[in-house]
Amino acid sequence: MLIETRDLTKSYDLGAVQVDALRGVTFGIDEGEYVAIMGPSGSGKSTLMHILGCLDTPTSGRYSLDGSEVSGLKPRELARIRNKKIGFVFQNFNLLPRIDLVSNVALPLVYHGSISRSERFDRSKKLLDSLGLGHRLGHRPNELSGGERQRAAIARALVNEPAILLADEPTGNLDQRTGREIMTILGDLHSGGRTIVIVTHDAGIAEQARRTVHIEDGRVARETVV
Amino acid sequence: MNVFESIASGMRSIWSHKLRSALTLFGIVVGVAAVVAMFSFVGGISKRIMEDFEQLGFDNVFFVSDRQPDNPRGLASLKVSKGLTLQDTEVLREEIPEIEWLCPTVATRIVGRAGNQARHFPVFGATPDGFPILKLELGAGRLINWLDVENHARVAVLGEIAKEDLFGDRNAVGEQMLIGKESFTIVGILRMKEFSRMFGGTGQEENHERVYIPITSGIHYFKGSKSIDYFAVRIRDGSDIGAVYERIHQTLLREHRGIEDFYIENIAEQIAEAKSGVERITQTWHTILSSIATVSLLVGGIGLLSVLIISVNERLREIGIRKAVGAEDRAIFQQFIIESVTISLFGGLVGLGVGAGLCKLITFGAAQMGQDFVIPVSGAGSVLGVSFAVAVGVIFGLYPAYKASRLDPIDAISRYA
Ligand SMILES: Nc1ncnc2c1ncn2[C@@H]1O[C@H](COP(=O)(O)OP(=O)(O)OP(=O)(O)O)[C@@H](O)[C@H]1O
Ligand SMILES: [Mg+2]
């Protein structure tokens, strides 16, 4: 199994009250799977994705990624995992506004350690080309449409050849047509062998995935497999 | 991210916040400019004073002069010692190798006359050594030479003022003049040196009101006895002033059979003390200036600190994104420290430019007012100023960089939204 979690919990201590965002999530994802995560607002989907993406740490429970235990790792080791094994796509793109597209896509390679400038550029350019943004390399993110930005964000998530692509509502900020475009890209990537986990509110989009995990109130409520 | 990319990123962040960067840089620029300018100024002045000391020409000089012995045997002792004589000068020369030049002198005040001009002049019988001791420069003709001394020659060298008194603008070399009743040929004219005004009157006027003739002629024509009035001694550079003084004293005392009918004025020591005084004052000023610089740069540093904190808060999302794609804490730390140092170094270099410009401006301004007052840009001040600026960048960058590096990625990304 690529991902295996066991009784993951996450609580936020807000002084007077304690918010339990996750109350024991146990599930697994195999290599090459395409999984959709659905659930009502506030049910803990993003929290779960952040933990899966090593952007956040669980309050308790176990999480193993690609055969090695992640919970309990130091920040530095988590950074390395984020850098080498995970591609994360955000709802609001999260590109750096002051640098051009190709530099944005190359950003993970900058922190990789040993990749030359020219190789970084070549790899980023190739990805942008394949996503139809070859003519936008030198543009700043704010010069692009939402769909183009999200495509660039996907390129950035893929540039390090991650083991898994995590996307938290990647079409949430896009109109329907552009959203479908992004879903086509993700579908193609899955066909190419990528492991993909996507959070969505859109049942139509979820249908593209073979398997849907329903989260309610911080727990896995049920799973549906097409 | 390597250092160059961090520097480039620092430059970008300076450039994209021009006004804010300018305000931050202002404190550092002023601090560094002040250090450079003030160090250069103090350095320039003290160098100038030192040069004046050199010009003054009394470093390494002793004057040995005649005086009445103040012992109870009174005048009786005069019969035992003959006072200062040419013999003394030969003994000193022989026994004290540190002596570079030694000039016995007889001085009288007597009427000098040329054409229809007449005046009282101090007339000095001296040897060729007298000119280098007093650092007197020849303007025209020649100086007195040893042959003149040997021959009791009736030749004279005039100080520049004495020459002007007698001849005005006219040529004087080769002309005759009367000293008392004796006729002398003028063979040379001295030239006054360019002096800074730092000392006001410099004492060189005195040297140039005189008429110089060979010591032997002085003794022969204008002096009843064989005794001489004083002699000037210049010892070699780097000699131990105190030790040489002691030996001159001992030697003369022996030659004068234990009677202290002479007095050695230790000008060398006085000049050396004055010089080290100037050095001490310069040092003190450097200390004072360094403290002022420290304070002003600390003020600049606080400006830098606040701007960096604002910058970190503004860039939470950027920091979060960088961390999300795999930047380690230390990469973020390095990025912000380098940005901070880039800003402060930039400020330091601009400050250096401004400080150097100020020095040039003062030099130029002085030249406009007809003053030759060059302020060379102080190397020590430049190095100190710029390294202070860099240190400020490092020190005041530490906290913001640390804060940035420790941010939680998700926290940083979502706090922005
Ligand atoms: N940093 C935080 N501090 C306190 N509470 C938080 C924090 N982050 C999330 N929560 C809470 O945890 C719960 C789950 O949040 P999460 O963002 O995971 O929900 P979600 O399923 O992604 O919702 P949505 O569909 O609206 O994105 C919510 O109640 C939320 O208020
Ligand atoms: Mg969410």
Residues A145-167: tens digit of each pLDDT:
999 999 999 999 999 999 999 99
pLDDT of residue B198: 47
Domain chopping of chain A, boundaries: 3-225
Give per-residue pLDDT as tens, A83-92.
Answer: 999 999 999 9
Cα maximum dimension of chain A: 53
Q: Is the pLDDT of residue A107 over 60?
A: yes
Q: What is the mean pLDDT of residues B195-220?
A: 76
Which of A100, A105, A109, A107 lies closest to A155, judged by CA? A105
Give the span between the Cα atoms of B293 and B45, in whole angstroms: 19
Q: Is the pLDDT of residue B26 over 90?
A: no
Asked if ipTM goes beyond 0.90, one says yes
Lowest mean pLDDT, pick from B59-63, B141-145, B336-340 = B59-63
Contact between chains at B328 and A111 (C-beta distance less than 8 A): yes
> Which candidate from A79, A88, A94 shows the least CB-CB separation from B327?
A79
Where do we find the tokens 């003020």? B299
Q: What percent of chain A has pLDDT over 90?
A: 87
CB A198 within 8 A of CB A91: no
Give the span between the Cα atoms of B84 and B68, in whole angstroms: 11
Contact between chains at A111 and B5 (C-beta distance less than 8 A): no
pLDDT of residue B224: 74
The amino acid at residue B347 is G
Q: Is the pLDDT of residue B197 over 50?
A: no
Q: Is the pLDDT of residue B76 over 60?
A: no
Q: Model confidence at A108, in pLDDT bands (50, 70, 90)?
A: very high
Give per-residue pLDDT as tens, B273-291.
Answer: 888 888 888 888 888 888 8
B379 CA to middle of ligand 2, Å? Answer: 60
Fold held by A3-225: Rossmann fold (3.40.50)
CB A194 within 8 A of CB A161: no
A45 CA to middle of ligand 1, Å? Answer: 8
Q: Model confidence at B69, in pLDDT bands (50, 70, 90)?
A: low
Give per-residue pLDDT as tens, A173-218.
Answer: 999 999 999 999 999 999 999 999 999 998 888 888 989 999 999 9
β pairing state of A164-168 and A195-199: parallel
Rounded (10°) CA dihedral B322, B326, B331, B332: 30
Which of A122, A120, A112, A104 lies closest to A82, judged by CA? A112
Q: Is B3 on the interface with A (CB under 8 A)?
A: no
Rounded to 10 deg, the angle between the B18-56 and B3-16 helix axes is 100
Ligand 1: residues whose CB is within 6 Å? A 12, 14, 19, 21, 39, 41-47
pLDDT of residue B408: 92
Contact between chains at B328 and A96 (C-beta distance less than 8 A): no
Lowest mean pLDDT, pick from B185-199, B279-293, B349-363 = B185-199
CB B85 within 8 A of CB B255: no
Give the span between the Cα atoms of A107 and B332, in whole angstroms: 13
Return the higher-pLDDT residue of B78 and A98: A98
Ligand 1, atom 13, lies closest to the CA of A21
A55 CA to middle of ligand 2, Å? Answer: 14
Does an H or E element contain B299, and which?
helix B267-314
Q: What is the mean pLDDT of residues B178-183?
A: 89
Q: What is the pTM of this model?
A: 0.74
Residue in chain A lying closest to B323 (CA): A79
Instruction: Give B312→chain A minimum CA distance, Å.
Output: 14
pLDDT of residue B402: 96
Q: B412 — alpha (psi -120 to 50), left (phi > 0) or beta?
A: alpha
Give the span between the Cα atoms of B55 and B192, in whole angstroms: 11
Residue A159 tokens, joined? 């540039």
Give per-residue pLDDT as tens, A28-82.
Answer: 999 999 999 999 999 999 999 999 999 999 999 999 999 899 988 999 999 999 9
Q: What is the mean pLDDT of residues B128-144?
A: 88
Q: Is the pLDDT of residue B405 over 70?
A: yes
Ion ligand 2 neighbours (CB, 5 A) are A 46
CB B259 within 8 A of CB B77: yes
Residue A70 tokens, joined? 């992640």
pLDDT of residue B306: 87
Interface test with B, best of A54, A55, A95, A103 (most B CBs within 10 A): A55
Give the span between the Cα atoms of A211 and B218, in whole angstroms: 125
Contact between chains at A79 and B329 (C-beta distance less than 8 A): yes
Lowest mean pLDDT, pick from A63-77, A164-178, B78-92, B239-253 = B78-92
pLDDT of residue B417: 46
Q: What is the mean pLDDT of residues B34-52?
A: 85
Ligand 1, atom 17, lies closest to the CA of A46
3-state secondary structure of B403: helix
Q: Is the pLDDT of residue A109 over 80?
A: yes
